[in-house]
């Protein structure tokens, strides 16, 4: 009775320590396990069937390797070109404007006129022809136009602190972009104000006569001594040729400023002393205001944007037309397109493709019309069915002998095959578990014929110690088979 009670108590200890389970809650394969085989061949002149245990261990090792080979999927994104097409547009010598009706996937806001966020893409078919000798389409000067306004143009027109100046230079419509700055401040006697290349040093300040004697240093380094009076306007500038000058006005010189900007002056500074006073501590002070303009960009008719695409600008109305330029004498040849050849627009990923008429033999006989193409790259997810193999790279680390196990590793499951008679690894068990647990295992082997027990590793409960032992090799094989059926 005592023996029976002792066995029940030990069995309960097994369940509480790491338990006997029918469906394992841990993952095991060849990468996170080690199998320990017995090496004792003879005990009391009785041979032990450790070769059979080794075969069972090898089968288990192969099983664990196969557990790491599983179906898997691999997904990635590929860049795939997609081409959208317009309807075929007949050539009736008309001035045609592309619309979203004719090409729903154009990806642009199009209109009849360049208003708001709309742009115009036009083909003047009176300047497109078919050469019946070469069997090719020909595009002549200004046959294709892209028309923008100030909101849509790719030209940089500056930001909030910019001034746009429309003029004519050398017979060409011209647009100057000036950066603009205005400021008011005050300075004391013998101090300097620096304004984008100009330096104004205050030698003397007369608060009674409302004037100041200054030394002006120009961007070139030129120095000039000048008396500046309250509420007069002093215009200092570097003209389009780089020449520096100085002018005085009794009233704000808006007309002169505009003329300088239209003439393409590089820099213009308008300076005026606005007041004179005695400051804290008796220091003489002058309050001043200034405006500063600096030319940053220049655009003109016939500026080349890219390849044969040049600008025709109307700066007074802020209309900017980019057109196909053909001038064979000056390096802009006629654009000639054969079958499957397209004219690429300089932006928007748009092409114009002639659609040729062909006879039954495939020979070109004429042109049906023209089609716009838009090719874009889209991301597409691709999933491939494959196999993932998480397997041990060295079989010697998967299957070892009991003589190689001196302690329980804390990063692997340990599987001990065979009982305490043949497998010396039981000595390691005795070092890590109490005697009642060990005796309980031995009793179960003797009573049931084999044991399949899973214990928590005392060093790391995430990993298990698995005992597969029988009172003979047949029962040990049964324990191994049962474990594999549940793992």
Largest CA distance in the chain: 131
Residues 64 and 86 in one domain: no
Asked whether residue 173 falls in the same domain as residue 281, the answer is yes
How many CB atoms within 10 Å of residue 17? 17
Q: Is 104 exposed, middle or buried (0-12, 13-18, 19+ CB in 10 A)?
A: exposed
Q: Is residue 58 helix, strand or coil? A: helix
Q: What average pLDDT does the structure give for the chain?
A: 89
The pLDDT tens digits for 406-459 are 999 999 999 999 999 889 999 999 999 999 999 999 999 999 999 999 999 999
Is 226 in the same domain as 291?
yes
Tens of pLDDT, residues 316-331: 898 999 999 999 999 9
Residues 364 and 408 grouped into a single domain: no
End-of-domain residue from the set 271, 299, 327: 299
Residue 106 to residues 60, 83, 289, 370, Cα–Cα distance (Å): 63, 10, 51, 15
Distance of alpha carbon 476 from alpha carbon 453, whole angstroms? 12
Q: Identify the DSSP state of 100.
A: T
Query: Are 214 and 283 found together in one domain?
Result: yes
- Tell me the pLDDT band of 258, cut-offs 50, 70 and 90: very high
Please list, in sequence order, all residues whose beta carbon lies within 8 angstroms of the beta carbon of residue 315, skipping any fewer than 6 positions away.
164, 166, 167, 173, 174, 175, 299
Whether residue 292 sits in one domain with residue 180 = yes
Q: What CATH number does residue 218 fall under?
A: 2.60.98
> Do residues 357 and 429 both lie within one domain?
no
Does residue 191 form part of some domain?
yes
Domain membership flag for residue 116: yes
* Co-location of 254 and 330 in the same domain: no
Specify the pLDDT at position 39. 86
Domain-embedded: residue 156: no
Residue 480 falls inside a structural domain = yes
Residues 434, 425: Cα–Cα separation, whole Å: 15
- Using the structure block, give the residue that is written with the tokens 């008719």: 301
Quick one: angle between helices 2-17 and 435-448, nearest 10? 110
Alpha-carbon 124 to chain mean position: 40
Do residues 11 and 54 both lie within one domain?
yes
Q: Let me know if residue 304 belongs to a domain.
A: no
Asked whether residue 397 is domain-assigned, the answer is: yes
- Confirm whether 305 is domain-assigned: no
pLDDT at 12 over 80: no
Residue 405 lies in a domain: yes
**Residue that terminates a domain, selected from 267, 299, 331:** 299
For residue 437, what is the domain's CATH number?
Answer: 3.40.50.12090
Domain ranges, residue 120:
81-146+318-380
Pair 227, 257 in one domain: yes
Whether residue 6 is predicted with pLDDT greater than 80 in this model: the reply is no
Please answer whether residues 289 and 274 qualify as being in contact, where contact means their C-beta atoms are separated by less than 8 angstroms.
yes
Number of independent structural domains in the chain: 3
The answer to whether residue 250 scores a pLDDT higher than 50 is yes
b/e sequence 321-358, b meaning 16+ C-beta within 10 Å = bbbbbbeeeeebeebebeeeebbebeebebbbbbbbee
Token pair for residue 184?
């008011």
Dihedral class, residue 22 (left if φ above 0, else alpha if ψ from -120 to 50, else beta)? alpha
* Interval 124-152: pLDDT, tens: 999 999 999 999 999 999 999 999 999 99
Q: Last residue of some domain: 335, 351, 380?
A: 380
Q: Tens of pLDDT along 92-131?
A: 999 999 999 999 988 899 999 999 999 999 999 999 999 9
Residues 394, 376 share a domain: no
Helix axis angle for 473-486 and 50-67, nearest 10°, is 10
- With tokens 């793992």, the residue in question is 487
Q: Name the helix (H) or strand (E) containing 364.
A: strand 364-389
Answer yes or no: do 261 and 367 share one domain: no
Element (H, E) at 140: none
């Amino acid at each position: 009775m005592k023996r029976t009670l002792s066995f029940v108590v030990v069995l309960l200890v097994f369940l509480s320590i790491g338990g006997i389970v029918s469906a394992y809650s841990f993952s095991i394969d060849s990468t996170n396990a080690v199998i320990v085989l017995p090496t004792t061949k003879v005990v009391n002149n009785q041979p032990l069937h450790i070769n059979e245990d080794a075969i069972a261990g090898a089968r288990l090792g192969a099983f664990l390797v196969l557990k790491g080979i599983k179906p898997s999927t691999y997904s990635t994104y590929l860049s795939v070109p997609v081409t959208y097409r317009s309807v075929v547009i007949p050539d009736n010598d008309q001035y045609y404007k592309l619309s979203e009706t004719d090409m729903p996937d154009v990806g642009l806001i199009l209109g009849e006129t360049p208003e708001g966020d709309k742009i115009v893409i036009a083909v003047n078919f009176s300047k497109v022809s078919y050469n019946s000798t070469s069997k090719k389409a020909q595009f002549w000067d200004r046959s294709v136009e892209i028309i923008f306004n100030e909101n849509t143009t790719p030209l940089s027109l500056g930001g909030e602190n910019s001034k746009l100046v429309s003029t004519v230079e050398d017979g060409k419509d011209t647009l100057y972009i000036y950066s603009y700055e205005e400021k008011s401040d005050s300075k004391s006697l013998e101090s300097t104000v620096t304004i984008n290349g100009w330096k104004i040093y205050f030698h003397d300040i007369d608060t009674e006569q409302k004037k100041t004697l200054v030394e002006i240093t120009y961007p070139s380094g030129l120095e000039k001594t000048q008396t500046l009076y309250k509420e007069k306007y002093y215009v200092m500038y570097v003209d389009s040729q780089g020449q520096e000058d100085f002018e005085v006005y009794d009233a704000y010189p808006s007309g002169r400023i505009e003329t300088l900007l239209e003439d393409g002056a590089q820099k213009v500074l308008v300076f005026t002393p606005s007041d004179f006073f005695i400051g804290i501590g008796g220091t003489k002070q002058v309050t001043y205001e200034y405006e500063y303009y600096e030319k940053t960009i220049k655009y003109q008719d016939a500026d080349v944007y890219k390849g044969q695409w040049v600008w025709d600008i109307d700066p007074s109305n802020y209309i900017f037309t980019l057109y196909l330029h053909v001038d064979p004498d000056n390096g802009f040849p006629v654009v000639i397109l054969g079958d499957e050849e397209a004219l690429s627009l300089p932006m928007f990923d748009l092409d114009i493709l002639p659609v040729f008429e062909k006879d039954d033999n495939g020979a070109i006989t004429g042109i049906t019309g023209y089609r716009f193409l838009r090719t874009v790259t889209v991301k597409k997810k691709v999933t491939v069915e494959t196999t993932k193999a998480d397997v041990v790279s060295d079989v010697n680390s998967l299957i070892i002998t009991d003589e190689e196990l001196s302690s329980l590793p804390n990063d692997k499951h340990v599987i001990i095959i065979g009982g305490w008679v043949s497998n010396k690894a039981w000595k390691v068990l005795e070092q890590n578990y109490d005697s009642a647990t060990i005796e309980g295992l031995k009793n179960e082997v003797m009573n049931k014929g084999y044991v399949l027990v899973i214990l928590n590793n005392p060093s790391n409960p995430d990993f298990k110690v698995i005992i597969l032992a029988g009172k003979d090799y047949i029962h040990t094989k049964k324990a191994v088979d049962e474990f594999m059926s549940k793992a």
